[in-house]
Amino acid sequence: MLGVGALAALVGGELFRPAPRSAEVMAGEIGARFGASLAAVLFYGSCLRRGSDEGVLDFYALVDDYGAAYGAGALARANAVLPPNVFYLERDCDGTRLRAKYAVFSLRDFARAVRPEAIRVGTWARFCQPALAVYRRDAEASAALVDALCTAVKTAVWRGLALLPGDGDTRAGSAESLWRTVFGDTYASELRPESRDRAGDIYAADPARYGRALAAALESLESEGRLRIARSDAQGFEIACPGGALRETRRRIRVRRPLAKAVATLQLLKSAATFGDWLPYALWKLERHTGTHLEPTERQRRHPFVFGWPLIARVLWRRELR
């Protein structure tokens, strides 16, 4: 069901802005690969946040179903068993070499991945942040996007409330404390090559937006009967959630974190099979976020599954993928 109220207005206003030409070009290339099965292309991440083409543009390609997207075969089965599949794409645009990666989800799997019950945090953590619908096939697809992204914001806020200090049924804090808690936890729950300041950087990019998103999500959660707002203003918020729901959510987060990391590891291995020349890309991303430079040999580049593991082991041993 399409979300209503301030949260849907916020999400819709962000989603349906004009797209930069670079994003349109790459969305067109993605569309050429999936044809009529493509329902929407979402642009998100640091390039959108910075308004820059420098680096790798991030997309989600949402399809009707995997059989229609790929035909019968291993890619369709892999996407169904452990979504998403992740691919790399390069194209020239106005004399500039554009680089992008895109993850493929069915609309149904995407809707599941932004809910609080999802094992992995990666999808809702990405889409509680601003995103842009570069392509959407029709009004039905547009409504599904708004609904899913509203759910992602509410999932993030609910999880943040559970993780804020406090053992009872009440929580209080500021927008900054909640969003820093949310993003810090997501990096702790998956294998992400990010610096420890990354959670704060995301919030600091647009504090006013995250303040509005928090207020709108609290309003929506209250309308669903999940909490009661005692105060919500520019200085902070206070909420009550009788029945121990926040304590139970915190417990589930802690219990499921090792499983989330294990699933993230499997996803990383699967992505290596679809991504292409993944080892240099992974090491470039590591250096960009941590300052650590590791140079693969030609043999490691040619046969990363056989010879690339010493480099990956060094990264994991030094705890640089968090």
pLDDT of the residue at 93: 87
pLDDT at 311: 66
List pLDDT tens digits, range 163-188.
999 888 999 999 999 999 999 988 87
Per-residue pLDDT of 230-260, as tens digits, reads 999 988 999 999 899 999 999 999 999 889 8
Strands across the sheet containing 85-93: 85-93, 96-106, 57-63, 38-44, 132-136
What is the band of 4 on the pLDDT scale with cuts at 50, 70, 90?
Answer: low
Q: Which residue has the tokens 């030409």?
A: 21
Q: Taking CA 161 as the corner, what is the angle to CA 157 and CA 163, rounded to the nearest 5 degrees? A: 115
The encoded tokens of residue 131 equal: 């995103």
Nearest CA to 236 among 179, 182, 168, 198? 179
Closest CA to 62 of 179, 143, 158: 143
Helix, strand, or coil (residue 214): helix
pLDDT value at residue 59? 98
Q: Does residue 278 register a pLDDT over 90?
A: no
pLDDT at 153: 98
CB atoms within 10 A of CB 120: 20
**Selected residue with higher pLDDT from 296 and 223:** 223
Task: Confirm if 113 and 105 have CB atoms less than 8 A apart.
Answer: yes
How far lies 19's CA from each of 16, 26, 51, 152, 202, in Å?
A: 8, 11, 10, 21, 21
Give me the residues paired with residue 185 across strands: none
Give the model's pLDDT for residue 271.
77
Structure tokens at 46: 């640091």
In the chain, which residue ranges form alpha helices assigned H by DSSP? 6-15, 21-34, 46-50, 66-70, 74-81, 107-113, 122-127, 139-163, 175-189, 198-204, 207-223, 245-275, 278-290, 298-302, 304-307, 309-317
Biggest CA pair distance of the chain: 61
| Edge-to-edge strand list for the sheet holding 170-173 | 170-173, 236-240, 228-233
pLDDT at 127 over 50: yes
Provide the 10 A C-beta neighbour count for residue 156: 29
Most confidently predicted of 94-98, 277-281, 294-298, 301-305: 94-98
Contact assessment for residue 88 and residue 101, using Cβ atoms and an 8 Å cutoff: yes
Q: Is it the case that residue 144 has pLDDT exceeding 80?
A: yes
Q: Residues near 321 by Cβ (< 8 Å), separated by ≥ 6?
A: 191, 192, 193, 286, 315
pLDDT band at 197 (very low <50, low <70, confident <90, very high): low
What is the spatial distance between Cα 123 and Cα 55, in angstroms, rounded to a whole number? 20
Angstrom distances, CA of residue 2 to CA of 7, 139, 144: 11, 11, 7
Q: What is the mean pLDDT of the chain?
A: 87
* Lowest mean per-residue pLDDT among 29-33, 182-186, 270-274: 270-274
Kindly state the average pLDDT of the residues 150-166: 96
Residue 231's alpha-carbon distances to 81, 217, 227, in angstroms, are 43, 14, 12
Q: How confident is the model at residue 322 (pLDDT cuts 50, 70, 90)?
A: very low
User: Is residue 297 scored above 70 in pLDDT?
Assistant: no
| pLDDT band (50, 70, 90) for residue 67 | very high
What CA–CA distance (Å, rounded) separates 42 from 118? 20
Q: What per-residue confidence (pLDDT) applies to 2?
A: 40
C-beta of residue 149 within 8 angstroms of C-beta of residue 127: yes
Residue 105 burial (CB < 10 Å; 0-12/13-18/19+)? buried
What is the structure's pLDDT at 1? 37
Answer yes or no: are the C-beta atoms of 128 and 199 closer than 8 Å. no
Higher pLDDT, 322 or 53: 53
| Domains delineated in the chain | 6-250 (3.30.460.10), 277-322 (no CATH)
pLDDT number for residue 94: 85
State how beta strands 96-106 and 57-63 pair: parallel
